[in-house]
Amino acid sequence: MSGIEKHCYKRYAIQPEWIYTSNQNQDLLDKHTVIINDGLIENIIPSEHFQRETVEYVFELHQSLLTPGLINNHTHAAMSFLKGISDDQQLQDWLEKTIWPAESKFLSSELVFDGAQLSCLEMLSSGITTFNDMYFYPDSTARAALNVGIRANIGLVFMDIKTNYATDFTDYLDKGFFFRDNFRDESLITTSLAPHAPYTVNDDSFLKIRTYADQLGLNIHCHIHETDWEIQDGLKNFGMRPIERLEKLGVLGPDFMGVHCVQMVDSDLSLIEKNQMHVISCPTSNLKLASGALPINDMIKKRIGLSIGSDSSASNNKISILEDLKLFSLLQRLDKKNDTFLSDKDLIDMVTINSANALNLSKQIGSIEVGKRADITAFDLSGYKTEPVYNPLSSLIYSGSSDCVDYVWVDGNLKFSKGMFSNNIDTESILEKIRLWQKKIK
């Protein structure tokens, strides 16, 4: 696939039919123009007041909806190399019989780079401009993100289990912070602490992670309450449910991002509410692995912060946050006693500003507002799959798909347009490397 020409306009304008801002007022604007200057959103004005001579170029996007760039708030990007390798197992068997043996045999820095690049292409082409990652060899994932041109929050993964990547907690720590130091000047890369799960991290390690989070101002990104097996394991080995254990250790807080949270009782929800932690739902992955479904309405009633992640394409098979968002919306309706549903604006906020809040990046991204970085996605709603458009947000969520993605800007740079990536991305080489890995693994 040939690439698009990289535009070098410092000051340009985007002129769509609609703009959903994800700002505090949840403004949906008709016929407004966004002016970008040096990667920042400089102004948002009615199109009738816009003067073309004030900019170098105008992207005229008829019948298009502009949103903040979508944020995938939980994934393991490199695991695309295991996409479709096992589709009919529950989580524990999936991990122990398929994933961990494959990782033990093949995992390397090179494989992580190649797999992460493939996922970055998929994410960018589906309107995702930022992803929150947790995996081994974080430097390889960061390099892949920078090569494709997508923003990433990379977790410094911790386990008390030996892997191809590290031998013990100290080794994970040293390698994680070495990566962080090497990438601290990359504006598109941020970091968090990423203990894998309560069943792979011991108490002493969690206490150290909490200390580092406090000292360095880093978020904690952790799987929790994903399966009934995990709950029973916590009761057996610690005499309490995993979230209760982390509460007693002092690990929970507003900087804690808990992923999955499908196995919940009232006391668990109370702890989430008390600690103001963020919950990241991965609905497709949870259903595919028969783990369960998030108690959405109970969390909404407690005003718990919610955002959406795809999980890896090894457990989801696609990294389209729009599909996960639609499924999340439909799952809310399983409760027949509940007749108040999240609005289309609330849903889009979950993959934009809510996710940015969880990542502590809301001052930079997550909404289309003056002064923020220009991470923006344009969706073409003119096709036969989405017309007629009575409400552009509803059309996007329930009728749209990744096929509607028309333009994607990251930090003001055009990275994807009309099905093509910017011309510095060799997509054929990336695909060929993945095919070679597939032959080895098969």
pLDDT of 7 reads: 67
pLDDT for 402 equals: 94
| Bridge partners, residue 410, by sequence | 413
Q: Name the residue with higher pLDDT: 174 or 422.
A: 174
Q: How confident is the model at residue 3 (pLDDT cuts 50, 70, 90)?
A: low
pLDDT at 4: 62
Neighbours of 10 (CB within 10 A): 12
**Phi/psi of residue 65, each to 5°?**
-110, 130
d(CA 53, CA 13): 11
CATH number of the domain that residue 416 is part of:
2.30.40.10
- Read off the pLDDT band of 5 (50, 70, 90): low
pTM of the complete model beyond 0.85: yes
Give the CB-side neighbour count of residue 357, counting CA atoms within 13 A.
21
Is residue 439 domain-resident?
no
Rounded to 5°, the CA angle 359-329-390 comes to 105
- Judge if 50 and 99 occupy the same domain: no
Q: How confident is the model at residue 250 (pLDDT cuts 50, 70, 90)?
A: very high
pLDDT tens profile 65-80: 999 999 999 999 999 9
44, part of any domain: yes
Same domain, 54 and 85: no
Provide mean pLDDT across the span 98-117: 91
Alpha-carbon span 60 to 410, nearest angstrom: 18
Query: What is the per-residue pLDDT across 19-40, written as a single tens digit (0 to 9) for each?
Result: 999 999 999 999 999 999 999 9
Kindly state whether residues 46 and 79 are assigned to the same domain. no
Distance CA 270, CA 261 (A): 13
- Are both 100 and 237 inside the same structural domain? yes
* Stretch 180-185: mean pLDDT: 97
Q: What per-residue confidence (pLDDT) applies to 95?
A: 82
Residue 185 placed within a domain: yes
- The C-alpha atoms of residue 425 and residue 2 are separated, in whole angstroms, by 9
The predicted pLDDT at position 1 comes to 36
> Tell me, what CATH number does 199's domain have?
3.20.20.140
In a shared domain, residues 231 and 129: yes
Residues 50 and 191 both lie in one domain = no
In a domain, 304, yes or no: yes
Of the pLDDT bands very low, low, confident and very high (cuts 50, 70, 90), residue 338 is confident
The lowest-confidence range among 81-85, 177-181, 262-266, 306-310 is 81-85
Question: Given a cut of 70, is residue 2 above it in pLDDT?
Answer: no
pLDDT of amino acid 84: 83
In a domain, 434, yes or no: no
For residue 13, the model assigns a pLDDT of 98
Same domain, 160 and 118: yes
Determine the pLDDT at residue 103.
Answer: 85
Query: 115: number of CA atoms within 13 Å, CB side?
Result: 28
Q: Is the dihedral of CA 230, 235, 241, 246 positive or negative?
A: negative
Q: Would you say residue 365 lies in a domain?
A: no
Say if residue 182's pLDDT is above 50. yes
Q: Are residues 292 and 282 in the same domain?
A: yes
Do 315 and 208 sit in the same domain of this protein? yes
Distance, CA of 376 to CA of 362 (rounded, Å): 14
**pLDDT reading at 383 higher than 50:** yes
Within 8 A by CB and 6+ apart from 195, the residues are 157, 158, 159, 201, 205, 206, 209, 220, 222
SS3 168: coil
Could you give the number of structural domains in the chain? 2
The fraction of the chain above a pLDDT of 90, given in percent, is: 88
Q: Is the pLDDT of residue 6 over 70?
A: no
**For residue 284, what are its two tokens?**
């497709």
For residue 21, the enclosing domain spans 11-68+373-421
Cα 265 to Cα 279: distance, rounded to the nearest angstrom: 15
- Same domain for 61 and 184? no
pLDDT range class, residue 340, cuts 50, 70, 90: confident
Residues 6+ apart with CB under 8 A from 280: 73, 74, 132, 257, 258, 259, 260, 306, 307, 308, 309, 358
Pairwise CA distance, residues 311 & 273, whole Å: 24
Q: Is residue 226 part of a domain?
A: yes
Angle at 82 between CA 78 and CA 83, to 5 degrees: 100
Which two three-digit tokens encode residue 31? 């016929």
The answer on 261 and 229 residing in a single domain is: yes
Is residue 8 over pLDDT 60? Answer: yes
pLDDT attached to residue 240 = 98
CA-nearest of 256, 289, 258, 76 to 165 is: 76
**Residues 332 and 394 both lie in one domain:** no
Judge whether residue 49 has pLDDT over 60. yes
The H-or-E segment that residue 230 falls in is helix 228-238
